Amino acid sequence: MFTMKMLVAFIAFLMYALVIMFQNRKVMFSSGAAVLIIILAAIFPGMIFPLPQDIVALEGWLPTRIYPFYHSAVEIINWNVIMIYLGSMIIASLFIYSKVPVKIADSIVNKSRNTCFAMVAILAMTGIISIFVENVATVLVMAPIGLALCSKLKMNPTFFMMGLAVMSNLEGTATLVGDPPSMIFASYAGYSFNDFFFYSGKPSIFFIIQIGMIAGCAFFYFFFAKNKNEKILVESEKIISWFPFCCLLMMILGLAAVSFINSRFEYLSGTLVISIGIIGLLWFKFSQKKSDAEISKLIKELDWETIFFLIGIFIVIGAIKETGLLKNLAALLVSITGGSKFAGFIIILLVSIAISGFVDNVPYIIAMLPVTGAMAESMETAPELFMFALLVGSCLGGNLTPFGASANIVAMGILKKENYPMKFSGWIKIGVPFTLITTAAASVFLWLVWA
């Protein structure tokens, strides 16, 4: 018998398939699926989004038809996540404009005792910047440093540029403001900024990712060991202003402070970050004397595609959740694992790596977080064990292939522009061992702490 649950499942499956096949049109497919679901919910009230009693009690057909639009716009779409992402992107753009990260990188190169240490230090710094700045932006700001370093060494920049991409992907999920997956996780799990460091008295996802970063640095140290006896000096960039760096610190400290505030205002974190972003834009216009066209250019270059993609995905996954499909999937996975906590942990980890190596991890994480939570509940284990496995596998798994993450695609584009085109097999040479080593290190630590 055909049911509305089956129809929602078909729409979601079709959307995911089209997003995978046509990545450059993912906003169109996610938005189209969201609009279709809302229209169906309005035509068949209560069959996709359950109607609250106060709506049912109202006379007439109009309230039940309007409710799906209100429910989707106000209750399903997580505007706090959207505001945090938008505000942090503005702050990150201004931080890059300030030349502070380039100045720090130049200092690292000049103070390192040999080029091998300098290269690994630059890669580590790339990861650290990516904790607070979007991955693609991190690669773009660090790429000129890497290219200049390789040019002075008369070295092929291919593998160093790959290192910038994979290290930025690695750290993207370490804090609440690092990347959309961490913001989505925080929204689902109710995590504050501070909870990313310690939760229930145990090391949280930040320290799990740092174990992976240490393993990644060790990997690249041995990979670039042939440059160990060389040293170069680079000319330092002049800093434009420290104000964007202060905005970045304000965001970090503000989010940490908000974690201690018991407020019923659910958009407090998002309001804080977007407000700091607006202050940064006002500084950019009036202090830096930028024209309206330059302000408009900065705003247009923000990652609006991901924001609109997230809005569509929130609605689709909301419908999947409210029709009970996620509970069905969780029950299926529990039956496959036979109730084994270790088997569930490994399956989530491996499936996340495999899927994220080829497709965008944002819709996958949104769909799977409730599933991992339900699995943990049925197995009577800490939900962090499975949720952290999902984050580690899906974020680190993006390093597996050249199109597993946007930062990888950007790095390949830069290499092509520099006349060093990258083949799939060339990426695998670093991508596979780096992913296996970093994921294994982070996963072992995760299991020992949370199992």
pLDDT in tens, 166-224: 888 888 788 888 778 888 888 888 888 889 999 989 999 999 999 999 999 999 888 88
CA distance 77 to 97: 31
* 145 in Cβ contact with 137 (< 8 Å): no
Q: Among the three residues 44, 76, 108, which one is the final residue of a domain in this structure? A: 76
Question: Which of 46, 76, 106 is the last residue before a domain boundary?
Answer: 76
pLDDT digits (tens, 9 = 90+) for 4-40: 888 988 998 898 788 778 877 888 998 999 999 999 9
Cα 378 from Cα 356, distance rounded (Å): 26
Report which of 101, 112, 119 is spatially closest to residue 217, judged by C-alpha positions: 119
Q: Do the beta carbons of residue 112 and residue 145 sit within 8 Å?
A: no
Q: Does residue 338 sit in the same domain as residue 275?
A: yes
Same domain, 185 and 43: no
Say yes or no: 369 and 230 in one domain.
Answer: yes
Instruction: Supply 404's token pair.
Output: 């597993």
Kindly report the number of other CB atoms within 10 A of residue 134's CB atom.
26
Phi, psi of 198 (to 5 degrees): -140, 135
β-bridge mates for residue 198, sequence order: 203
Q: What are the Cα distances from residue 10, in Å, to 32, 116, 312, 362, 371? A: 14, 52, 16, 19, 18
pLDDT the model gives residue 92: 79
Residues 419, 374, single domain; the answer is yes
Tell me the pTM: 0.76
Residues 14 and 51 in one domain: yes
Residue spans of the chain under pLDDT 50: 1
Same domain, 151 and 248: yes
Q: What's the total number of domains in the chain?
A: 2
**Structural tokens at position 80:** 């706090």
Range of 271's domain? 80-450
Do 37 and 106 belong together in one domain? Answer: no
Give the model's pLDDT for residue 59: 62
Three-state DSSP state, 297: helix
CA 197 to mean position of chain CA atoms: 17
Residue 423, phi-psi category: left (phi > 0), alpha (psi -120 to 50), beta (remainder): beta
Q: What pLDDT does 263 receive?
A: 65
Shared-domain flag, residues 182 and 34: no
Cα(261)–Cα(278) distance, integer angstroms: 23
Domain-ending residue, one of 76, 98, 117: 76
Q: Which residue has the tokens 């630590």?
A: 445
The answer to whether 230 and 194 have CB atoms below 8 angstroms apart is no
Q: How many CB atoms lie within 10 A of CB 291?
A: 9
Both tokens of 437, joined, read 């080593």
